[in-house]
């Protein structure tokens, strides 16, 4: 007998839970499609060198090896499971550049893997659902707004409570830090320190900035800036109060005010403390939090990256995108019962069987129901009807059908009401 328990970090849902995940994935996919995003998929496996190209930490990767490598086998380059969908997408765009129409808009739903220590209790396998827009040469700001609008539409449709899209712009941050006389190397370090605000707090940030040898007036200024948060409508007026004469800063402020005109008005906040850890962001950055479940942290994030694709190809292909952490959201929905589990089956009708000789006719009847668009199943044996009704009830199948001579009797298990019909079509017409 083998060990029968979940492997830590590799979540597995029960059927009624997976039905909810599938429904949510379909909902998000439909919204992405309604914005004109096209599906792509990349293999789960990339060359290790591809995944390392933006300097990812090696220990987050799972490497593959064949259990029994033939002794005469040539050495493959090392293969690894992808840890996100952005790096494989950048590789995909570079590789298929001549075959894509630009601007190219894709969505991509796939599992990603992180080689976390099993003891840490984090997901080591989970779904991400990404959208991105890339183009040749110059990517207009309208694309940043479209990404944010699509993410806004998703969280509105999910209907799992209030959410907030926190927005900032790397140019604003770098412009500000530059105005303090910090080198671009130090600016990057400051960004990754400020990014940890939620984890280490103001005091932690002060400590880490001090260890960078920043002067105390610089540290105080950085801390003051991280406290600026405002409704997105006031972004320009609030930022105009910061009297900093720096071109990059001004460019960032200009981008933010253009963005304001194109994105929804509710549930969006400007937050100067938002930094996002990843190196490759160059303009707008944002993340989504669920106001009623702050302990779940960031459930979606993204931003503008102007120089990611050209790590693979010597051409300018700027992009902007976002990723939604599906598994984390499903985990939240299931743990907090945010969506009512109604059934463990897609069947709408259970066709009951009184005795085996009737089965061939009932199988044909079920086929007819399917052709009329009604999902159904035929009970596989012919026990007492009570047992068959109990099965339907437990699986959340709403109707039982009893075929008697040339009549159809339908029992609605929710109202317990039974009604006779002379044909299947007659019953279907009563459904709305």
Beta bridge partners, 45, equal: 81
Stretch that binds a copy of itself, among 114-122, 203-211, 228-236, 421-429 (CB under 8 A): 114-122
Q: Find the binding residues for a copy of itself in span 129-158 (CB under 8 A).
A: 133, 135, 139-140, 142-143, 145-146, 149, 153
Contact in structure between 227 and 194 (CB atoms under 8 Å) = no
347-370: b (≥16 Cβ within 10 Å) or e: bbbbbbbbeeeebeebeebbeebe
CB-wise, 61 or 193, nearer to a copy of itself?
61
Q: Does residue number 180 form part of the binding site for a copy of itself (CB under 8 A)?
A: no
Of 19 and 288, which has the nearer Cβ to a copy of itself?
Answer: 19
Residues 293-312 that bind a copy of itself (CB under 8 A): 311-312
Count of positions (residues) in the chain: 432
CA angle, 368 then 18 then 392, to 5°: 45
Dist. CA 398–CA 414, nearest whole Å:
7
Cα 310 to chain centroid, rounded: 25
Please select the residue that binds a copy of itself; options are 1, 71, 213, 337, rule is CB under 8 A.
Answer: 1
Min dist CB 150 to a copy of itself, Å, is 10
The span from the CA of 366 to the CA of 76, in Å, is 52
Among the listed ranges 73-81, 186-194, 195-203, 223-231, the one in contact with a copy of itself (CB under 8 A) is: 73-81
Contacting a copy of itself (CB under 8 A), which of 55, 65, 217, 243?
A: 65
Compute the least distance from the CB of residue 363 to a copy of itself, in Å.
6
From residue 378, how far is each of 158, 331, 365 by CA, in Å?
A: 34, 33, 9
> E-assigned strands of 364-406?
376-378, 399-404
* Pairwise CA distance, residues 63 & 65, whole Å: 7
- Residues binding a copy of itself: number (CB under 8 A): 112
Task: Enumerate residues 272-291 that contact a copy of itself by CB under 8 A.
Answer: none
Q: With contact defined as beta carbons under 8 Å apart, do 350 and 412 qualify?
A: no
Choices 32-40, 235-243, 274-282, 417-425 (CB under 8 A): range interacting with a copy of itself: 32-40
Work out whether 204 is an interface residue with a copy of itself (CB under 8 A): no
193 and 205 Cβ atoms separated by less than 8 Å: yes
Q: Site residues for a copy of itself, window 354-383 (CB under 8 A)?
A: 359-360, 363, 367, 370, 375-378, 380-381
b/e code 106-139 from CB counts within 10 Å (16+ = b): bbbbbebbbbbeeeeeebbbbbbbbbbbbbeeeb
Shortest reach from residue 200's CB to a copy of itself, in Å: 22
Residue 235: beta bridge partners?
none
Q: Could you identify the residue written with the tokens 């969006």?
A: 268
- Closest to a copy of itself by CB, 50 vs 178, is 50
Binding window for a copy of itself (CB under 8 A); candidates: 28-36, 175-183, 210-218, 268-276: 28-36
Phi, psi (degrees; rounded to nearest 5) at 94: -60, -40
Residue 135 tokens, joined = 């183009």
Q: Which stretch binds a copy of itself (CB under 8 A): 116-124, 184-192, 224-232, 247-255?
A: 116-124
DSSP assignment, residue 399? E
Q: Which stretch binds a copy of itself (CB under 8 A): 94-102, 177-185, 196-204, 210-218?
A: 94-102
Q: Give Cα 323 distance to the centre of its chain.
A: 5
The footprint of a copy of itself on residues 388-407 (CB under 8 A) is 391, 394-395, 397
Q: Where in 217-256 is the site for a copy of itself (CB under 8 A)?
A: none
| Region of 69-77, 179-187, 403-411, 413-421 interacting with a copy of itself (CB under 8 A) | 69-77
Residue from 55, 71, 119, 185 in contact with a copy of itself (CB under 8 A): 119
From 168, 282, 301, 347, residue interacting with a copy of itself (rule: CB under 8 A) = 347
């Amino acid at each position: 007998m083998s060990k029968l328990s979940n492997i830590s970090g590799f979540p597995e849902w029960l059927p009624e839970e997976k039905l909810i995940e599938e429904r949510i994935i379909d909902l998000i996919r439909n919204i992405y499609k309604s914005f004109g995003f096209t599906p792509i998929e990349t293999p789960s496996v990339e060359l290790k060198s591809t995944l390392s190209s933006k300097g990812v930490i090696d220990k987050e990767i799972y490497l593959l090896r064949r259990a029994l490598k033939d002794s005469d086998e040539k050495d493959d380059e090392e293969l690894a499971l992808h840890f996100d969908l952005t790096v494989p997408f950048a590789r995909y765009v570079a590789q298929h550049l001549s075959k894509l129409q630009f601007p190219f808009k894709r969505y991509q739903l796939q599992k990603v893997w992180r080689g976390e220590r099993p003891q840490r209790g984090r997901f080591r396998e989970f779904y991400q659902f990404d959208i991105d827009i890339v183009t040749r040469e110059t990517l207009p700001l309208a694309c940043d707004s479209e990404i944010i609008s699509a993410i806004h539409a998703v969280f509105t449709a999910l209907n799992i409570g209030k959410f907030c899209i926190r927005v900032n712009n790397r140019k604003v941050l770098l412009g500000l830090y530059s105005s303090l006389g910090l080198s671009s190397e130090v600016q990057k370090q400051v960004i990754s320190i400020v990014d940890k605000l939620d984890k280490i707090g103001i005091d932690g940030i002060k400590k880490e900035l001090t260890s960078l040898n920043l002067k105390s007036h610089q540290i105080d200024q950085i801390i003051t800036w991280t406290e600026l948060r405002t409704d997105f409508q006031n972004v320009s007026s609030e930022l105009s109060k910061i009297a900093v004469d720096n071109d990059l800063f001004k460019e960032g402020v200009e981008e933010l005010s253009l963005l304001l005109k194109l994105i929804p008005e509710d549930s969006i906040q400007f937050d100067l403390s938002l930094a996002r850890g990843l190196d490759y962001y160059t303009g707008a950055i944002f993340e989504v939090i669920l106001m009623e479940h702050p302990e779940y942290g960031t459930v979606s994030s993204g931003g503008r990256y102007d120089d990611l694709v050209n790590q693979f190809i010597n051409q300018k292909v700027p992009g902007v995108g976002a990723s939604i952490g599906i598994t984390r959201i499903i985990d939240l929905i299931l743990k907090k019962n945010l969506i009512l589990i109604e059934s463990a089956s897609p069947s709408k009708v259970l066709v009951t069987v009184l005795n085996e000789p009737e089965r061939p006719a009932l199988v044909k009847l079920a086929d007819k129901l399917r052709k009329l668009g009604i999902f159904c199943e035929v009970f596989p044996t012919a026990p007492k009807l009570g047992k068959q009704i109990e099965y339907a009830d437990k699986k959340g199948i709403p109707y039982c059908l009893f075929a008697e001579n040339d009549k159809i009797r339908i029992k609605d298990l929710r109202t317990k009401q039974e009604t006779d019909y002379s044909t299947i079509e007659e019953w279907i017409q009563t459904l709305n």
